[in-house]
Chain A
Amino acid sequence: MTSIARPTSSVRKTTLNNGIAVIAVENPTADIMAARIFFGAGSRREKPDRAGVAHLLATVMTKGTETRSSMEIAEQVESMGASLGTDTAADYFVLGLKTVSEDFAQILALAAEILQRPTFPESEVKLEQRLTLQAIRSQKEQPMSIAFAQLRQSMYAEHPYARSSLGTEASVSELTRDDLLDYHQTYFRPDNMAIGVSGCLNSSEAIAQIEKVFGDWQAPEIPLPPEELPSIASQPGCQITTQETQQSIVMLGYLGPSVSMGEFFDGVSTDYASLKLLDTYLGNGLSSRLFVELREKRGLAYDVSAFFPTRLDRSNFVTYMGTAPSNTQIALEGLRAEVERLRVTPLTPEELQASKNKLLGQYALGKQTNAQLAQIYGWYEMMGLGVEFDDRFPEAIAALTSQIALETAQRYFLEPYISLVGPEKFVSAIA
């Protein structure tokens, strides 16, 4: 076991003998323990005709182990007032748990059993498969979710980022228990995982408890299969779904960088940092550019914003708003003008500083609860960024200049992918 204590904080990284990385945070403010247990899995590790297998596995995983039935697991968790849940995203799979400190060892042991020895009972597979198919259909109830789904599809085509993590009706209906067993055997192994843990226990004790229940887990002889991801080609276009909603959803997307693309400044991609800054400038808060120009000054929208998630592969930089159908064209022009403006107009020194303050202030505000702390450190480790990223990211943001942001905008904000959802009369005219 190797251990590195970071001098300036209570964050400690340890690697167990079987390869599991554990990041432990001591946070004595409340009698709570939270852990987030990550695996290098998720949609990115799915074959297209098995899309949704990671999600289905996540839902069935907590429903049976070699020694416990679904109801016994639920009763144990709920009788301790704990929470234990699994989730899958594009780049990872995670099991999260939260307890009061005296119950931590017991719930952690249950989590270890669920992760190492799930049985995927056939009846539970069938139940969750049927409910997942329903959930896929229900995604069509929300205009925003339709708009984002068709945007993703057009940006990523065959790449897994194109899909919802639920999978498609076609792929999910073909999944079997054997698919879950196969996926579990392939990706759930100690050399493909990282654990973030935070709470009132001292970190040595937290790590000892983790070692006790995960320390004997051995990685199989065969190495992890290499990732086989299709490349992402840029082919901007316009996607439209017509429906008689009260608002049109207007969404513009640009292919962005991954978290580690392009040139680096002290361990952080400058492209990534620049687009995080521009995302903040455009879409974050009541003083953001989109909010002020399109909502405050023109009253076009209630919800108008931007997002740029942190991804292992090429991410998407998206701006969007919901607006009265008669404003669809104006909204599209407005969003587009604001993004393209960043290619020609550098941020003023005041805007640059304000965006940095906002981004860094909110970054700090996002590390308060034990669940947030366990998430961020475990996730950084799983993404290969390391806990150091937590210090380096703010430094990289602080070092950005308006010129760098401008040049980054010029490289990424080219032709937008457009997605429209709304009444036919107003959205069809735009293509």
Chain B
Amino acid sequence: MAIADVWVRAGALAEPDGWSGMAHFLEHAIFKGTDRLPPGAFDLEIENRGGTTNAATSHDYAHFFIATADRYFQETLPYLAEILLHASIPDDEFIRERDVVLEEIRQANDNPDGVAFDALMDTIYQVHPYKKPVLGAVGELLERSPQEMRSFHQAHYQPQNMTVVITGGIQEDLALESIEDCFRDFPSPPSCPTSRVEAEPPLDCVRRRELYLPRLELARLNMAWIGPGIDEIHDAYGLDLLAIVLAGGRSSRLVRQLREERQFVQWITGDFSLQRDSSLLTITAGLEPVYLNTVEEFVVRAVHQLQTTPISEVELARAKRQLCNDFAFSTETPAQLAGLYGYYQTLANAEIATLYPQRIQTFEPEELQQLARRYLRRDCYAITIAQGE
């Protein structure tokens, strides 16, 4: 089993004004091949050998992976490099694939959880491009040309933005040699408008939005606080622990109180998602509309309590154990490892990834209390509420 996972610092954050959706659309268009590889040929080369391939785009990155049996590694890597470096983006394929992206947007718009999450991002961020959905705005997508996409591609898919991760049953020297062979002769970067990523100012109030969505049977409550970016990784890991203490499992504070005891919610979860800048701690619940206010107040009190009272040693030990084991469980396969290393190398550097369990173990209740005071203010959060029409 061999994985080749290529990460490119060319997510939605790289998009200039008016180009919203370009990074994701490009991810689709790259599969349309090159002058030497007609549309569909790449997919056939990988899949006919029993392999799989796919790609994903976020604000912070785009990545492309292939998974094959070890013996096909050397034969398939050149194809991946070829489409990534030399995508030709023919005009007619651009137009056709744009229809596919528009279908993807329609599908997303029919998913209430996705719509509610996009609204939360738009509510919590004031200036940062994390505001905008990765899929983009239809109007802006329709205004862009194949030539603009080619310039975006060639400007960003350059060595300094790229991480190639190889995992699985491949010797290191063979992997390095193959990468050297395949990832060379990058096109010279053309001029392309650049993006502006403004630092997000601290949140200084409660930002609130209410949505009414068709067909919604259960209301959704999404709350978020802004945390640090990856350059303050230690603080970020502290928030990871706090998210678990709040709502990670049946014994966590909010699940226990709101689902099991008071029965106000159908479900409630807490999550910390690490991003390059201004990461997010989110609490999400599904509930009957009648409990919306009560649950919001409850969450705010629980968050505030993290500032006033240190968490107990038992809770801390449990949260540490949960995170460290989750880390072990999510690094079982070569594909998971490749994703982990690629992600960290793209945002900072890959070595950080391996230190995660050690870092988590260092936290004491007092430090977490300080982090809660710094990041989880009870009067500075965003909330979106979605209800049926």
Interface string of A27-43 (1 = CB under 8 A from B): 00111100000000000
Question: Residue A74 contacts which of B48, B249, B286, B326 (CB distance < 8 angstroms)?
Answer: B249
> Could you tell me if B47 and A358 are in contact, using CB atoms closer than 8 angstroms?
yes
B328 to chain A, nearest CB (A): 6
Q: Is B294 an interface residue (CB 8 A)?
A: no
Q: Are A287 and B44 in contact (CB under 8 A)?
A: yes
Contact partner of A299 among B99, B217, B260, CB < 8 A? B99
What are the residues of chain A within 8 A of B263 when measuring CB–CB?
127, 130
B48-A287 in contact (CB<8A): yes
- Whether A361 contacts B50 in the complex (CB less than 8 A), given A100-B325, A130-B263, A137-B217, comes out as yes
CB neighbours (8 Å) of B110 from chain A are 142-143, 245-247, 322
Are the CB atoms of B47 and A246 closer together than 8 Å? no
Place the interface of chain A in its size category: 35 or more
Please tell me if B35 contacts chain A, counting CB pairs below 8 Å: no
Asked if B216 is an interface residue, CB under 8 A from chain A, the answer is yes
> Contact at A299–B100, with CB atoms within 8 Å?
yes
Task: Please judge, given known A-B contacts A285-B52, A357-B50, whether A79 and B100 are in contact too, CB under 8 Å.
Answer: no
Considering only CB atoms, which chain A residue lies closest to B48 in the complex? A354
Residue B273 is within 8 A (CB to CB) of chain A in the complex? no
Q: How far is the CA of A298 from the CA of B68 in the complex (A)?
A: 29
Complex CA distance for A82 and B249, rounded to whole angstroms? 11
B103 touches A138 (CB 8 A): no
Whether the pair A81, B321 counts as a contact (CB closer than 8 A) is yes
Q: Say yes or no: A32-B48 contact (C-beta < 8 A), given A78-B318, A361-B69.
A: no
A residues in contact with B96, CB < 8 Å = 296-299
B321, A246: Cβ atoms under 8 Å?
no
B228 contacts the other chain (CB 8 A): no
Interface code A123-151, partner B: CB below 8 Å = 1, 0 otherwise?
00001001100110110111100000000
8 A Cβ contacts from A60-100 to B: 70-71, 74-75, 77-83, 98-100
Which residue of A80, A131, A285 contacts B43 across the interface (Cβ within 8 Å)? A285
Which residue from A80, A127, A361, A362 sits with its C-beta under 8 Å from B260? A127
| Contact mask for chain B residues 229-264; partner A; CB cutoff 8 A; 1 contact, 0 none | 000000000000000000011111000100010010
Contact of A247 among B44, B106, B335 (CB under 8 A): B106
Give the A-B pair count, Cβ closer than 8 A: 169
Contacts A71-B250, A79-B321, A323-B103; A296 near B48 (Cβ below 8 A): no
Q: Closest residue of chain B to A245, judged by CB?
A: B110
Q: Mark B78-113, 1 if CB is under 8 A from A, else 0.
A: 000000000000000000111111111011011110
Q: Is the CB of A140 within 8 A of B217?
A: yes
Find chain A residues with CB under 8 A from B251 CB. 71, 74-75, 78-79
Residue interface bits A345-386, CB-to-B below 8 A is 1, else 0: 000000001100110111011001110000000000000000
| Interface pair A368/B1, CB less than 8 Å apart | yes
Which of B50, B53, B250 meets A78, CB within 8 Å? B250
Smallest Cβ-Cβ distance to A369: which chain B residue = B332
Q: Residue B52 contacts which of A75, A137, A323, A362 (CB distance < 8 angstroms)?
A: A362
Residues on A with C-beta less than 8 A from B98 are 299
Find chain A residues with CB under 8 A from B199 CB. Answer: none
CA distance A298 to B98 in the complex (A): 11
Q: Which residues of B contact A301 (CB under 8 A)?
A: 100, 103
Binary interface encoding of chain A residues 319-360 relative to chain B, with 1 for a CB under 8 A from any of its CBs, else 0: 000111000000000000000000000000000011001101
Chain B neighbourhood of A29, CB < 8 A: 332
Chain A contacts for B252, CB-based, 8 A? 78
| A124 to chain B: closest residue by CB | B260
**Contact partners of A82 in chain B: CB under 8 A:** 325
Given A30, A141, A295, which contacts B328 in the complex, CB threshold below 8 Å? A30
What are 18 residue pairs bridging A and B, where the CB atoms are less than 8 Å apart in the complex? A29-B332, A30-B331, A31-B328, A77-B249, A79-B317, A98-B329, A131-B266, A138-B286, A246-B109, A247-B107, A285-B52, A287-B43, A299-B97, A301-B100, A303-B104, A354-B48, A358-B50, A368-B1
- Beyond A77-B249, A78-B318, A357-B48: 20 further Cβ-contacts under 8 Å? A79-B251, A81-B318, A100-B328, A134-B218, A134-B266, A138-B218, A246-B106, A285-B47, A287-B48, A299-B97, A299-B98, A299-B99, A301-B103, A322-B103, A357-B47, A361-B47, A361-B50, A364-B1, A368-B333, A370-B332
**Interface set of B (CB-CB < 8 Å, partner A):** 1, 31, 39-40, 43-44, 47-54, 67-69, 96-104, 106-107, 109-112, 214-218, 248-252, 256, 260, 263, 266, 286, 288, 314, 317-318, 321-326, 328-329, 331-333, 335
In the A-B complex, the 10 residue pairs with the smallest Cβ-Cβ separation, listed nearest first, are A361-B50, A81-B325, A299-B99, A74-B250, A81-B321, A286-B43, A302-B104, A246-B106, A287-B43, A302-B103
